Structure 1
Amino acid sequence: MSLFMRSLILFAAAATATPAPASSASAPSYSHTATALSDIAAAAATAKTSSPTSHVAGKVFDRIAQIYLETTDFDHAIADPNCQALYERGILLTQLFGVAEPSQPAYVAAASGDYFGTNSDSFEVFHSNISTIVDLLDDRGISWADYNEGLPYSGFDGFEYDNPVEGHYVRKHNLLMRFHSIALNASRTAQVKNLTVFHEDLARQTLPQWIFITPNLYHNGHDTNISVSCDWTRRFVEPLLLDTAFDDGRTLVYITWQANGQDGTARNHVAGMLLGSAVPAALVGTNDTAYYNHYSELSSVEANWGLHTLGRWDVGANVWQPVARATGDETRAWNATVARGSFASYYWNQSYGGLFSSAASAWHVYVAPNLQMRRNGRSALPAIADLWRAATGTLPDYYHDVIELPDALHPPRRFQVPVGLEPPMPITTPITIWPDTGIPSV
Structure 2
Amino acid sequence: MEQLRSVAAHRLTLEVRDTRVINAPGRQRTPTTTWHVYRKPKWADGERALKKKLASLWVHFGCADIQQTIVLPGSSTDKAAARDVLARRTSELPDFDLQAHDVRLPIGPKVSDSSSTQTWWQKWGGAAVRVFLMLGLMIYGGLLQHSSGRWTVLGALPLLVAMWCAGEWITSNAHRPRIVRLAAGAVMVGAPVLLGCMWEAQESAGAHTLVSSIALGGGGWFIVRGCWFALRNSWVSRHLLGVLSSIVLPLAVAVPAFGYFLQLGYLNSGFGIPASAGTTEVFWQYAIALKPTGICLFFIATFVAIAGWLRHYHWIAFSRNWAMVMVPLVALLYVLTILTTGMSGVSVAAKAAARDAMNGKQPKPYFGIKGTLMCVTPVSGDASVYNGPLPKGRPVLTFGVSNGRLWLWDPERAKHPGGPKPTMHVQLFKVSTSVPSGNGRTCTALERSS
TM over 0.5: no
Question: If the length of structure 1 is used for normalisation, what is the TM-score?
Answer: 0.19
* Structure number with bigger Rg: 2
Provide the TM-score with structure 2 as the length reference: 0.19
Q: Which has the higher contact order (CA 8 A, sep 6+)?
A: 1
More helix by share: 2
